[in-house]
Structure 1
Amino acid sequence: MDNSSTAADDQAKSPNAKTASLNGGQQQRPAGEPSSNNDHGVKEATKEALDTSGEVLLSTDGMATVSVGLSPEEQAEASFFRPYWTLEFAGTALFALLMIWCYGWLYLGAFWNPLTRLEDLHVSVLNCDVLPPTSSLNASFAPYMPVLAPRPLATSLLAGSIYNTNSPLGPGGGSGRSLTWDTASCPGVTGPRPCGTPEEEAACMQSLSNDVRQGGPWALLYFPSTFTTSYLSWYTYSGIAPQLQSLWAQYVIARGRCYSTYNYVSAVTTQSLVPGLSRSLTQALASNPAAVAATGLNLKFLATGITPVETDLAPVKNFGQHFASYIFCVLLWLGSTFMVVTSWQFKLPVERALMAPPPARPSATGPLEDGTQTEAETAAVQAKAEAAETERRHVRLGALAWALWVKGFVAAVFMFILSVLLCCLLWALGAGNEQFYKNAGQTIAFGWYMSWSFIAINALLLHFLGVERFSSISALILILQLTSASAILTTDLSNRFFYIGRGLPMYWGVRAFRTLWFGVNTDTMWLNWVVITAFNVVFMPLGLGATAYRVWTNGSWGRRGGVARPINVQMGGVVAVAM
């Protein structure tokens, strides 16, 4: 054996002297040279290195190197958990725990106990009830009026319930488990009647109902001016005609504002308040049996009581329609994340050319044949180099603009198709029978327009945080928007923290879809377009700028992420390599 082979053997036996590359020796072979038997030798050396060491270094360019030469004693001392005993891994694990903990806090915190915040839901009460004129009553019945109806019946019942601080439904106690009752009135009305003439009363009722539909109070409870008259018609000797008129109170809602929230509003109003008023009335009648007998009350009234008449100005046929108003936003967000990550992973040929290292810049100075160079010649060389550099920058700018246009066009087409498919989904689930306030074209247009802001936000996150951290932060923002967009429940029933949703795009997307489908908040539909436009104007340049910077800087942000780290996994004397 010659001296060169002996030196090579000594170097191979050195504990920390040599590393074998897992790329099959491609870096050792000149460009254009075909593969040779030497590659097989390198691979065999790599396999031997894995059998003896098992120490792997993962590099940022996707390669892996194996350190050769660890002694058996050093391998025995290596800990199985050694790769995890680093500050970087501890920080990453802590970050992951906090992210998942935040997911749970957002979901559970938003919907933990909405009953304690019912007082944040406002209901208007319009009481137009008046006593009937004395001329419409029998003379024999008039003496019993101070006992049966000393004042309008609705006024008496409301004073003992929602306006009574000692009542469970009243404003007292501070438990937060009762709605807030706002006394409504009819402006511009003159005369003794609180709501004016029947025509003025109808106009006032229409105006207050429209307030409910346009995002004002959550409901309107209306007692008509004939409420007491209808009650007295159940007395045989009252003289009211016709007899046995229905005693009703109208309950006006717009369920399209938030289907789930109205479950709480209706539970208090139609299942607690109105039945409670009926019980109070029957108990009062039972305490005056002589007056009841003398006036001839029809006992069927005790079983009938007050009838709530519900009027839904923006009906929602099923929970699925309500659910779709924010699932659309979620799916558009997920579609935008897919497009952003795909754009990161799959690069156009022009992008690869832009990311290639720039050619060496020619020297501005250089000796001539006689070893001298005049200043004019030096200036000419410099001017030529600067012109070449300027031309190269122009070419790169054109290529960059083309790459951004192509990727933006593909993303826009993808999101448009997704918006169309989502509308087809609504049509298919409803068997073509679901009627919406506006046509599907407006839904497609708004969803597509909103998806631009989603793409811009996710692109900015991806290029700023990197592909490793992007998914967790994007999911956190998605969950934050879900819980604060008044999508499942209105934020009025959540902690005040969730009012933050009004500064995020999904809140306005949910509002817009409910306007287009159910006809609520139609007066402020323009505001949804304005807010989404503001998000597009702010985040689209930022997202494009981040993408352009990544490509322009030779792809320093575009390569696959990774950290060079040794990984030793030794089990029962056999070394396994974790890649």
Structure 2
Amino acid sequence: MSSPSEHSVSTVVDVDDKENVVVARPAASDDSAANRAAAAADAPAKPAPKVPAAVVWAKEHMVTASVFTPASTLVIILLTSIVAAFYGLGYLGVLWDPQSHLPNVKVGFVNADAGFNFSAYPPAFAQAVLQQTGGRTIGQVVEATLLAPSSAAAGLFNWQNLTGVPHDDLVNRVNNNELWNVVYIPANFSDVFLLNFNFGKPQTQLVFMNIENIYDQARQMSVVSIINAVLTAIVQTFSNAFAQKLLTSINTNPVDNITISAPNIRLIANNLHPIPNFGHNFATYVICIVLWLSGLVTATLLSVIYMIRLPFLKQHGIATHLRTPTRIILSAQTVSLLLSFLHALVAWGVYCGFVGSPTSGFNPDYNSFVVLMYTWFIAATFHSVALCLCVLLGKDNYSLIFSLLLILQLATSSAILDPDVMVGFAKVTYGLPLYYANRSLKCMILGTSCSFMPFNTGIMAIWFVGMSAITFVVGRRNVFRTRTAVNKAETA
């Protein structure tokens, strides 16, 4: 039999001193939950981890240590680093190595060389010349040097062989941005080459063999300068090599009493729209920057006035004519439009001041008043973008995005280089308004790329109408919410 202690339940007697009552209750076994809890309670507490004295001091004396949690600190570090990296890579990336993107640049080549006219020269001389050129004209020799697949120059540009295209048509293609440059070999090229030979008499005059270089400097000054430098180097290298070959040949196999001077082949510039000075090159960009930043200031001030000050004015019976959210937001957009004209007038006036006249300094096809009105249209478009972002993101948040958008456009919208010589990322500029505004002003001020004026205007009109519509819908809703909040505060 088992002992009674194995089956009986032990009891604990508690005595309530106040009531003098004896209460019996079951005693907890050693392995019961209550016993473990009591043991844990009686156990000595673990010492708290020691906080470094520097951390304690920072929390007591530094605002940032009290405000930023580890999570918020991580977010700030990651977000700001990503933005810095994005713009660092983007800005340097699009400007880093334009020469490596020259194969994207379309350069036309035309060989209009009519060939040799040996009627005034001895037959032996004619035979010797054709032997050295392989029976080709000098224009064909240059063409093979530039366009042959095995040529080092062939891969430098996106060459377009346009031999047979009329000269005027070539000029139009450069004007319409279909080509950056055209290398044009004239009809008398081979005959001029013959003038470098002398029969029994010393050379009295150096005769240059000119190749016409058709380009539009105002399209993008930096890119044109790079292209022209490369073309000049190519022609000079070919000229030196070709002259050395001929001189060696004549000295080795003299023909009667013929001597030859070094044929000097050079590029002759046909600049369709010369830039008068360095400031003209950047005038269009500066005007766009001024108008963009004026939109930033305007949107911020209008947000403060219409979204914050106006509800409190109405609360005191002032500005009662603005009774509905529709009238309020339309009033804000109207004021923005009027201010955009003022800012356009200022930007236009500053340019006229530097030019020295309110009527000169523009493309003859556009008088100064038309330029002023179009500048107003550009300013209104930029203001509509700023006001739209302001009502979408709030006046405290939109300015960062608006400013970053400006920086992105300055890097990609032909402000420094053309997208044709940038990385593919730069193509984002084709969807942004500053590129088209800048191109329109280039037409009106410098006379270049004017065939794109209707397209430029259409793109900016889409931006203006789209941003204005979004501003009206979202802004009206925001005004309604603000008015409702003010009404609740009045009744509270």
Task: Give the shorter-chain TM-score range.
Answer: 0.7 to 0.9
Aligned to 1:105: 89
Q: Which of 273, 289, 298 is matched with 1:339 structurally?
A: 298
Aligned to 1:211: 173
* 1:500 is the counterpart of 2:428: yes
SS in 1 for 2:211: strand
Distance 2:103 2:235 in 1: 18
The Cα shift of 1:485 comes to 1.2
Aligned to 1:262: 224
Q: Do 1:355 and 1:552's aligned partners in 2 also have CA atoms closer than 8 Å?
A: no
Aligned to 2:111: 127
Q: Report the structure number with the largest CA radius of gyration.
A: 2
Match runs of 1:75-474 below 5 Å: 79=60, 80=62, 81-85=65-69, 87-88=71-72, 90-149=74-133, 150-159=135-144, 161-171=145-155, 178-186=156-164, 204-237=166-199, 246-270=208-232, 272-288=233-249, 289-291=251-253, 294=256, 296-299=258-261, 302=262, 305-347=264-306, 351-352=310-311, 398-432=323-357, 435-437=361-363, 438-474=366-402
Distance 1:93 1:356 in 2: 43
SS in 2 for 1:322: helix
Q: Do 1:214 and 1:521's aligned partners in 2 also have CA atoms closer than 8 Å?
A: yes
The Cα shift of 1:557 comes to 9.6
The Cα shift of 1:292 comes to 5.4
Q: Identify the structure with bigger relative contact order (alpha carbons < 8 Å, sequence gap 6+).
A: 1
Runs of at least 4 residues off by over 6 Å: none
Per-residue CA deviation, residues 383-430 of structure 1 (Å, 9 max, x unaligned), is xxxxxxxxxxxx998543443344333322322122222222222223
Q: Do 2:196 and 2:207's aligned partners in 1 also have CA atoms closer than 8 Å?
A: yes
SS in 2 for 1:130: coil
Q: Do 1:157 and 1:280's aligned partners in 2 also have CA atoms closer than 8 Å?
A: no
- Return 444-453 or 470-479, whichever deviates more: 444-453
Distance 2:253 2:379 in 1: 69
Q: Do 1:219 and 1:253's aligned partners in 2 also have CA atoms closer than 8 Å?
A: yes
**Shift in CA distance, 145/298, structure 1 to aligned 2, threshold 3 Å:** closer
The Cα shift of 1:108 comes to 1.3
Distance 1:125 1:488 in 2: 27
Distance 2:465 2:360 in 1: 35
Aligned to 1:536: 464
> Structure 2 length as normaliser, TM-score?
0.77
Q: Do 1:99 and 1:476's aligned partners in 2 also have CA atoms closer than 8 Å?
A: no
- Between the aligned residues of both structures, percent identity stands at 21
Q: Do 2:387 and 2:471's aligned partners in 1 also have CA atoms closer than 8 Å?
A: yes
Distance 1:427 1:106 in 2: 34
Per-residue CA deviation, residues 32-75 of structure 1 (Å, 9 max, x unaligned), is xxxxxxxxxxxxxxxxxxxxxxxxxxxxxxxxxxxxxxxxxxx9
Q: Structure 2 counterpart of 1:536, which letter? A: F
Distance 1:308 1:118 in 2: 19
Match runs of 1:516-555 below 5 Å: 516-554=444-482
The Cα shift of 1:256 comes to 0.8
Q: Do 2:207 and 2:264's aligned partners in 1 also have CA atoms closer than 8 Å?
A: no
Distance 1:285 1:356 in 2: 94
Distance 2:484 2:73 in 1: 23
SS in 2 for 1:447: helix
The Cα shift of 1:499 comes to 0.4
- Return 513-522 or 463-472, whichever deviates more: 463-472
SS in 2 for 1:126: strand
Q: Do 1:132 and 1:229's aligned partners in 2 also have CA atoms closer than 8 Å?
A: yes
Aligned to 2:53: none
**Shift in CA distance, 522/557, structure 1 to aligned 2, threshold 3 Å:** farther
SS in 2 for 1:247: strand
Query: How many pairs does the alignment contain?
Result: 417
> Structure 1 length as normaliser, TM-score?
0.66
Q: Structure 2 counterpart of 1:435, which letter? A: G
User: What is the alpha-carbon root mean square deviation over aligned residues?
Assistant: 3.0
The Cα shift of 1:103 comes to 2.6
SS in 2 for 1:297: strand
| Unmatched tracts of structure 1, length 5 or more | 1-74, 172-177, 188-203, 358-394, 559-579
